[in-house]
Amino acid sequence: MIDRYKLVTRHNPHYTKEEKQAPLSVGNGRFCFTVDFTGLQTFSASFNNDATGFPLCTMAEWAWHRYANVPLTTAGLKLTPFDTFGRAVGYAVDDTGQRELFYGLRRNAHKFHMGFLSFTLKGKPLIREQCEPIQQTLDMWTGTLVSEFTMSGEPVRVETFVHPHEDSVFVKSTSPLVKKRSLGISLEFPYASHRKSGTDLESRQPHTTSVKQHERSRIEIHRIMDETEYYVTARFDTDVFVQTEWETHRVLFGCGGQYEETLVLAVNFGLESRVPAPFANAEAVRDMFWREYWTSGGAIAFPDTVDPRAIELERRIVLSQYVTAIQCRGEVPPAETGLSCNSWYGKFHLEMLFWHVAHFTLWGRIEEVKKMLAYCKKILPSARRIATSQGYAGARLPKMCDLSGENTPSSVAVLLLWQQPHPIMLAELCYRADPSLDFLHEYRELVVETAEFMRDFLHYDENREEYILGPPYIPAQECHDPRTVLNAPYELEYFRWALMKADEWLERMGERPRFRACVERMANPAHKDGVYLAHENCPDTFSQAPFYTDHPSMLAMFGVLNSERVDKTLMSATLDRVLEVWDMGTLYGWDFPMMAMTMCRLGRNSDAVDLLLMDSLKNTYLSNGHNRQEGDAALPLYLPGNGGLLLATAVLAAGFDGNEGCRFPKSFNAEVENIYAYI
């Protein structure tokens, strides 16, 4: 039996200096709080103002904002017509003559930073030279951050954590400076921004901060920014004085007792006012939650190994479990940078949904995936409108959206397709883990309507006597002209797999299949000179730029998928050609696990491990566990990489249907518990 405590805690991040590129976070899956070496956001300016930095934010999945006087609907957008087998279908891809509307819809709504928590000295902001980090440890077993530093030569110890079931930050600060009434905490509220940091500290007028209630042990603050309102409620477990500076949207907290050396503060953020739980109660709930989290799901360990690859891979696995726990367990899909900062204005990309959450099913956490299915079901009305507006049946899922589920105009996003089968894939993975007729009926509508769109999007070519996919669309490899893309292998096989699976769902419920005739007559993936192509009209996939950049997504049809139409010799040669000629600097974090899964299906298991650990710009895993996309300032972290790593390592641990078993090298001394086989 794996010693879960030892497995987790031997990878606890431990810092002895300031780590500006890899700050640590605490959270609960819906709410996240990222800090510097003080355990708060005391020196956030040096993080947030750095274009390449990792901002220190306080963010929640419910916290969205729109600038005043921006458009709320896409009704006025001018669409660009694309010839679609003799009829014109419009897509919002061009900002010409409509920049204000186009970018207004892109930037709104956006997530925002809800408030900075920082230490103060005698009511004044700290100066960096006044402080020196000693050590900081993230105890992942309890989701608690312990920070120790000196302030003006005096020691300070801080415990920081987030309540598992409330959007509340708990802070316990111990220092002689508290007894001297010198150490305090400030809560400062910036105006919202669509930028990476989610903040605009220059705009003081478009928002208001006011006290709704102030008692001895708590204070309730009401925030208004344009049409966004939220509440911040602070609770004190010690005698505290409060000072307000509304012109700067700042509140100061300090110890009011004469002898106390500990300042205890809890702050809740929400659409409604909620008093945080008492500190001791929150600690008990925290410990219970995280103990259950680490002991209930799957585990992979490499004990007693001297193989440095195994040691590093285990570190990445454990830290990826932590960062997905605090970032990807909400009621709506996470953004690619989760709740750490804004990427693409904090909007979520549904084509990334698979990489964010599919791993949960193999690690014994299907409830997290069911939340995403519930969201997809909720936005079906929007998906139906998109399909209907383009003349298609069924429901076409948006690519980039906010809570509304409405598509965001984009030169690329609105033309993507590979998000469409994701709900069927995720639903099937959940059903495999826990078969239930009730579950089939609950998501029948979602499965069937997404399949109906896919069938209608396919075109029957009478000359070829087969169904073809496109044009127009942009494949996962986004460097192609949508007007020429034909039968991109991943999309083609993913559509085919999803249509077959939709029929299986109908048959399980005693209904007749609907999509079989289409499936049986679909075109085959194109290949040339012994390798698969990016798509049928791209014979120069491996010889002409930019076709050997971005995602090598043709590999996914025999990695993410198990297409029986794949020739393994061709696929193995294609994978080797990608490794030989592809511009690896243009890959993204999920490409490495995707390719590793292809290696596994080909039986090249050692190569799969090497791919997961490849020294490449976009395969960098920081000391805080995040998959930084080096060279892309917008992505100081990239959660699809973490999710992909967990999916691929589950495949290495448990295999596939009909081909189960551990695939890790013998030198890893692998131990595996409660990991399930993939499709």
Angstrom distances, CA of residue 293 to CA of 281, 290, 610: 18, 5, 29
Q: Tens of pLDDT along 240-252?
A: 778 877 778 888 8
Distance of CA 266 to the CA centre of its chain: 27
Return the pLDDT at 148.
98
Q: Give residue 100's region: left, alpha or beta (phi > 0; psi -120 to 50).
A: alpha
Domain spans, the chain: 4-66+110-293
- Which three-class secondary structure string do you get for 515-531? CHHHHCCECCCCEECCE
Local confidence band at 455 (pLDDT 50, 70, 90 cut-offs):
very high
The answer to whether the predicted template modeling score (pTM) of the entire model surpasses 0.75 is yes
Most distant pair of Cα atoms in the chain: their distance: 89
How many CB atoms are closer than 10 A to CB 633?
12
Confidence at residue 253, expressed as pLDDT on a 0 to 100 scale = 85
- Asked if the peptide bond before residue 546 counts as cis, ω within 30 degrees of 0, the response is yes
What is the DSSP code string of 148-191? Answer: EEEETTEEEEEEEEE-SSSSEEEEEEE-HHHHTT-EEEEEE-PE
CB burial of residue 459 (10 Å; 0-12, 13-18, 19+): middle
Go through 487-516 and write b for each residue having 16 or more CB atoms within 10 A of its CB, e for each that does not. bbbbbbbbbbbbbbbbbbbbeeeeeeeebe
Q: What is the side-by-side order of every strand in the sheet holding 31-35?
A: 24-27, 31-35, 58-60
State how far the Cα of 654 lies from the Cα of 677, in Å rounded to an integer: 5
Residue with the two structure tokens 């890790």: 664
Question: How many whole angstroms separate alpha carbon 404 and alpha carbon 31?
Answer: 19
Question: With 70 as the cut, is the pLDDT of residue 344 above it?
Answer: yes
What is the model's pLDDT at position 49?
Answer: 73
Beta bridge partners of residue 82, listed in sequence order:
89
Q: What is the CATH number of domain 4-66+110-293?
A: 2.70.98.50
Per-residue pLDDT tens digits for 126-150: 999 999 999 999 999 999 999 999 9
Alpha-carbon distances, residue 224 vs 106, 169, 202, 268, 541 (angstroms): 22, 21, 16, 16, 52
pLDDT score, position 433: 94
List pLDDT tens digits, range 146-189. 999 999 999 999 999 999 999 999 999 999 999 888 999 999 99
End-to-end CA distance of the chain: 26
Q: Show the tokens assigned to 176.
A: 């002689």
pLDDT tens profile 248-285: 888 888 876 655 789 999 999 999 999 999 999 999 99
User: What is the per-residue pLDDT for 402?
Assistant: 94
Token representation of residue 609 = 């491990």
Mean pLDDT rounded to a whole number for the chain: 95
502, 467, 490: which is closest to 565 by C-alpha? 490
Q: Is a pLDDT exceeding 60 seen at residue 672? A: yes
Q: What is the DSSP string of 498-558?
A: HHHHHHHHHHHTTPPPSSHHHHTTBPPPPEETTEE-SSTT-TTTTTSTTTTSS--GGGGGG
Encoded tokens for 364: 């014994």
Find the helix or strand (DSSP H, E) in which 223 lies. strand 218-225
Residue 257 is predicted with a pLDDT of 61
Long-range contacts of 526-533 (CB under 8 A, 24+ apart): 526/487, 526/489, 527/567, 527/570, 527/574, 530/570, 530/573, 531/570, 531/573, 531/574, 531/577, 532/489, 532/570, 532/571, 532/574, 533/489
Cβ within 8 Å of residue 462, ≥6 positions away: none
pLDDT band at 53 (very low <50, low <70, confident <90, very high): confident
Is 50's pLDDT higher than 80? Answer: no
> In this predicted model, what pLDDT tens digit does every residue of 608-656 receive, in sequence order?
999 999 999 999 999 999 999 999 999 999 999 999 999 999 999 999 9
SS3 assignment, position 339: coil
